[in-house]
Amino acid sequence: MKTIRDYIRTIVDFPHEGIMFRDVTTLFADPRGFRIAVDQMLHPYAGLEIDKVVGLEARGFILGGAIAHQLSVGFVPIRKKGKLPGATISQAYTLEYGEAIVEVHDDAIKAGEKILLVDDLLATGGTAEAGIKLVERLGGEIVSCAFVIDLPDLGGRARLKAMGMDVHALCAFDGD
């Protein structure tokens, strides 16, 4: 039986030399692989109160939408600056190669709502941390952060745990 890792393609030296890019598009393209990933991402949250799923741009939208559908809850996108049409709040964060800003609509989450944050990959944790801060600024409570892939050597899990977050990932790739 195939595992989640078996559905993920590795592309060497992308986007630049020395990077082992973990490509989840092969997972998404396979109906069985995608179903397994969504089911496994949902499993830890069976019976928990979750009001909305928040997905981080862009692959977090694919997973988050499917998970929100299965949970019968709303979906909230956190997008790169300038991509949302309504009033937003923003959060800057540091990337390996610079800074970026993400935004969420200022009315997307109500105070006290229980939120599941979803993305495809946890590397340094900068994007997830920015997403958590946006949710918390709106009064939402993060129930957990769910990822397909964890790259533990890059420290993202430790970073989110230091913030008091519960972190779940379906698989890990060491040495990246």
Write out pLDDT tens, residues 64-101. 999 999 999 999 999 999 999 999 999 999 877 789 99
Q: Could you identify the residue written with the tokens 């779940």?
A: 168
Cα distance between residue 48 and residue 41, in whole Å: 13
- Active-site position among 59, 103, 113, 157: 59
Average predicted confidence (pLDDT) for the chain: 96
Q: Which amino acid is at 45?
A: Y
Q: Please write the tens of the pLDDT for every residue from 26-68.
A: 999 999 999 999 999 999 999 999 999 999 999 999 999 999 9
pLDDT of residue 155: 95
Q: pLDDT-based confidence at 176, cuts 50/70/90?
A: low
Q: Please write the tens of the pLDDT for every residue from 109-139.
A: 999 999 999 999 999 999 999 999 999 999 9
Judge: domain 48-172, CATH 3.20.20.140: no
Q: pLDDT-based confidence at 175, cuts 50/70/90?
A: confident
Domain definitions of the chain by residue range? 48-172
Distance (Å) of CA 110 to CA 83, 105, 127, 134, 141: 21, 11, 21, 12, 10
Cα distance between residue 117 and residue 161, in whole Å: 14
Cα distance between residue 3 and residue 173, in whole Å: 13
Question: In the annotation, is 96 catalytic?
Answer: yes
- Active-site position among 5, 49, 96, 129: 96
Token pair belonging to 147: 């990822």
Higher pLDDT, 98 or 149: 149
Cα distance between residue 99 and residue 113, in whole Å: 29
